[in-house]
A and B are shown apart, each in its own frame.
Chain A
């Protein structure tokens, strides 16, 4: 079905991410997983099959790719699109329309199906994928998982033979990943050829036929499902891969609960657009504690974080810091949020300037110390946007430390990260915990949660469902939530 022969591709103006002399054959109906560290070239392989390389991304291309007999480099994009459907990482920017119905038919409108057929295809897609509740809605009201479903539906409506997925689970919660898994299973049963580049592996373990492990633009090894699953954890971690089985992850035998509560939240209720979305939140947090916040998309986790940082003002109840009541304005001064899209919070022209941005008379000595500590000193003259995702995150953390913030909040710090980068984030958070910061981490990432959090708070249905330490005794609760 798919044949890649001696393909080399180097992106224009970029040394990373390309592939070198790569060959791969995929039979009809096979389910192939591409994995490897960030920048290993797995995304490029997906782009070679949906035609983005060499049609959309510019660079040096040589070799030959054929999909179902079609020479990709010689075929226009719109013809490839009829054969190969693609679903991408960021559900937010995959939309062309602002309403779900139009979006689902977007692809088949381009194929110029007559309107009655469009309506028929739309109805069939909606019933096949069981998304009746999502029809006729504005895409701005949808959660990430729902958006991903619509993006998938739009591709499904075109009924391509080959499906290509590029890190589809990055922005999804546990339930949405489970739905994604079911859709993939359905495609597999229909005999479609599926290619998926992914960091999270656990949800694919029963689906894959072939696992392609890549390193620095080359295929290092091709495994069958059996071979791959029999690999030891140490070997897997050495390869920079996430776990294949969430139940293998161990949690500490016991975690210490913080002794003195510096931060106290009392009778907090949160409103969003005039609706109360959470009520009766009572909790305390002490220095050095790392609190994981879990809950489904739309449970109010982000709103909670924002109000904690003083960014969301529609709330009732009180926040106390060292027994002193804090208004929203005061909380802005003691807390700092590291956003999921960390690019929004970097403004300056170099890492060093970023650290001192907006501060009158900054303490440059302390700033240097902090940059060294976070491994950023070597990059101090780099523009923040030329750094890797992890380095950007560190820069944001450096800013918070220069400003002397005590409460640090991370919003999905590991979405779309490979094993190595996830470990780095975990180490960073542990370091901050040793410096006696109060840390909150909102995450859907079970591996991160188990490796760094000492305590978990579960938000759902408008209230705190549970609040427990991450220990062996509570592992059942975690397993239940993360569907292990």
Chain B
């Protein structure tokens, strides 16, 4: 989480996509995965997203996600062939479920992690997103990277109480583990959301004048390329 959501500070990678294009890609990408007629098509979609991630400079996250995705597909295939009946249905259904959602998660992660908050805000201003929608949305976007910091503290607190903050701990004692994570996280989340909102309203975020931005946002060739490619993928669904 930490590594992917913090790189937005730096300009990395070959592509720098406009936030408006990103919204479009996210929408089209999700529809395409949802409508995908065959597994081969879904894999094509995942590969496309991976490529996009690499072009945008999100290397580690993309690769990690790809390994995970391959794993899920392997589990599905192997499970289907070799597992005994009862477990097979359970495992395979779960794998299909994860496989279906996965490209969307990957795409979302890549796009969010490459967006600067101020770019996002001025882009949303351009498409005349109302302020009362934009402000909470931005607070949310800003909260994500903070969760990873919170998580480090909570993990330490859990270890001191002899509650294991790992997957194994979760399997052994799900109720307790969930409680340990969500209670402090919820408490701090509401506090942080308040403080972030305060920091923004006292600096005039609600000003109705169209917001300007230090980094000018513009459509580039990369935006056109991505738009055409994703639109073509969606078009393909209807012709195959």
> Could you tell me which A residues sit within 8 Å of B by CB distance?
50-52, 55-56, 76-78, 80-82, 84-86, 88, 90, 92-99, 101-102, 105-107, 109-115, 118-119, 122, 137-138, 140, 151, 154-155, 158, 306, 309-311, 332-333, 336-337, 339, 341, 343-348, 357-359, 385, 399, 403
> B214 an interface residue at 8 Å Cβ cutoff?
yes
For the complex of A and B, 5 pairs with smallest distance between CB atoms: A81-B204, A345-B157, A93-B195, A112-B209, A107-B203
Contact among A56, A101, A158 for B197, CB-based, below 8 A: A56
Q: Which residues of A contact B6 (CB under 8 A)?
A: 98, 138, 140
Q: What's the least CB distance linking A279 to chain B, in Å?
A: 23
Instruction: Report yes or no: A109 in contact with B188, Cβ–Cβ below 8 A.
Output: no
Q: Which residues of A contact B196 (CB under 8 A)?
A: 93-96
Given contacts A337-B156, A339-B153, A341-B188, contact A77 B212 (CB under 8 A): no
> Could you tell me which B residues sit within 8 Å of A by CB distance?
6, 8-10, 116-118, 122, 138, 142, 145-146, 149-150, 153-154, 156-157, 159-163, 176, 179-180, 183-184, 187-188, 191-192, 195-216
CA distance A337 to B160 in the complex (A): 8
Instruction: Report yes or no: B157 in contact with A339, Cβ–Cβ below 8 A.
Output: yes
Q: What's the least CB distance linking A363 to chain B, in Å?
A: 16
Contact among B160, B162, B207, B210 for A345, CB-based, below 8 A: B160
Q: Which residues of B contact A107 (CB under 8 A)?
A: 203-204
Q: What's the least CB distance linking A129 to chain B, in Å?
A: 16
Instruction: Report yes or no: B212 in contact with A98, Cβ–Cβ below 8 A.
Output: no
Instruction: Report yes or no: A110 in contact with B117, Cβ–Cβ below 8 A.
Output: no
Instruction: Report yes or no: A115 in contact with B206, Cβ–Cβ below 8 A.
Output: no
Q: Which residues of A contact B122 (CB under 8 A)?
A: 109
Q: Which residues of B contact A158 (CB under 8 A)?
A: 203-204
Q: What's the least CB distance linking B124 to chain A, in Å?
A: 13
Q: Which residues of B contact A76 (CB under 8 A)?
A: 206
Q: Which residues of B contact A84 (CB under 8 A)?
A: 202
Given contacts A81-B204, A119-B214, A345-B184, contact A88 B116 (CB under 8 A): no
Q: Which residues of B contact A86 (CB under 8 A)?
A: 202
Q: What's the least CB distance linking B62 to chain A, in Å?
A: 20
Q: Which residues of A contact B206 (CB under 8 A)?
A: 76-78
Contact among A56, A119, A311 for B159, CB-based, below 8 A: A311
Instruction: Report yes or no: A112 in contact with B202, Cβ–Cβ below 8 A.
Output: no
Chain A CB within 10 Å — which of B10, B163, B205, B214 has the most? B214
Instruction: Report yes or no: A112 in contact with B211, Cβ–Cβ below 8 A.
Output: yes
CA distance A88 to B201 in the complex (A): 13
Instruction: Report yes or no: B199 in contact with A88, Cβ–Cβ below 8 A.
Output: yes
CA distance A109 to B121 in the complex (A): 10
CA distance A95 to B210 in the complex (A): 21
Q: Which residues of A contact B145 (CB under 8 A)?
A: 98, 140
Contact among B160, B162, B210 for A311, CB-based, below 8 A: B160
Q: Which residues of B contact A155 (CB under 8 A)?
A: 203
Q: What's the least CB distance linking A146 to chain B, in Å?
A: 15
Chain A CB within 10 Å — which of B138, B163, B215 has the most? B215
Given contacts A78-B205, A102-B118, A343-B188, contact A96 B142 (CB under 8 A): yes
Instruction: Report yes or no: B160 in contact with A332, Cβ–Cβ below 8 A.
Output: yes
Q: Which residues of B contact A138 (CB under 8 A)?
A: 6, 9-10
Q: Please, which residue of chain B has its CB at the minimum distance from the CB of A90?
A: B195
A selection of 24 A-B contacts at a CB cut-off of 8 Å is: A52-B201, A77-B201, A78-B206, A81-B202, A85-B203, A88-B198, A95-B196, A97-B118, A102-B117, A109-B214, A110-B205, A111-B207, A112-B209, A112-B211, A115-B213, A140-B6, A306-B156, A332-B159, A337-B156, A339-B153, A343-B187, A347-B179, A357-B161, A358-B162
